[in-house]
Amino acid sequence: MPDTPKPVTTLDLLRMKERRERIVMLTCYDALFARLLDATVDILLVGDSVNQVLAAQDTTLSATLEQMIYHTRMVRRGASHALVVCDLPFLTYQVSPTEALKNAGRVMQETGCQGVKLEGGRTMAPTVRALVEIGIPVMGHLGLTPQSVNALGGYRVQGRDDVAIQRLKDDAAALEEAGAFAIVLELLPTPVAAAISESLSVPTIGIGAGPACDGQVLVLHDMLGLNDRFSAKFVKKYASLADDVRKAAEAYAAEVRSGRYPDPDHSFAK
């Protein structure tokens, strides 16, 4: 058997940026997919997008801490190589640094993940610093921040004017200074994401932010073509598994209804 790759650490990610090696991140919500992806990706993000992908909610806002802990625990059981990061859901870290410490600490303790992700810039920097100071690695998230979708006026590209661009740069600098080990940049024009990435010593992970980021992330079910009701300009589908699932189910149903399944090869004589 080939040697199992050594676990990825936050320090490894910093070194990857220094060497200009691209970082690969995918969302993941269960142990089975974690096991399938583990040797290939650098980071598995247990995103609060689970609330939309698996729970059919319109936004991430109703995701709960218990929901995130449950899914992160499953992913951690399937991963031995990839760094597992858990999204902190809405209102589990915005109220106060003290509340964030309690909730993020619970996530780390109950799941075994190696970091948490939260949204926001300068206003969240004191919270990031407080978490990092007690040993909780934090990934930031700027640009289109899904937990603020109502305030942002929907899912649309951010950083379109000079004021917004400068704000994003200041936010990124504040997160880095506070100790974030990486920052997700979502739905930003390519030149803006490139400028932010170049200005930071910590890696950026892009989603709809162009090729200049230090890494990329997609929602797994979008990338696999399982979520065929969702499409976006930045999503590239590397498979069409929704069609495969339907075809397999139709073949199974036809064989059950015709009596062809189970056949002798799939039955026990004694």
Structure tokens of 126?
């004191």
Kindly give, in sequence order, each residue whose CB lies less than 8 Å from that of residue 89, ignoring residues fewer than 6 positions away: 48, 60, 63, 64, 65, 67, 68, 147
Distance in angstroms (rounded) separating the CA atoms of residues 63 and 69:
11
Phi, psi angle pair for 56, to nearest 5°: 60, 30
The tokens for 188 are 């930003």
Helix (H), strand (E), coil (C) string for the chain? CCCCCCCCCHHHHHHHHHCCCCEEEEECCCHHHHHHHCCCCCEEEECCCHHHHCCCCCCCCCCCHHHHHHHHHHHHHHCCCCEEEEECCCCCCCCCHHHHHHHHHHHHHHHCCCEEECCECHHHHHHHHHHHHCCCCEEEEEECCHHHHHHHCCCCCCCCCHHHHHHHHHHHHHHHHHCCCEEEEECCCHHHHHHHHHHCCCCEEEECCCCCCCEEEECHHHHCCCCCCCCCCCCCCCCCHHHHHHHHHHHHHHHHHHCCCCCHHHCCCC
Contact by Cβ (8 Å): 238, 223: yes
Catalytic: 176?
no
Identify the active-site residue in 66, 119, 176, 186: 186
Catalytic residues: 186
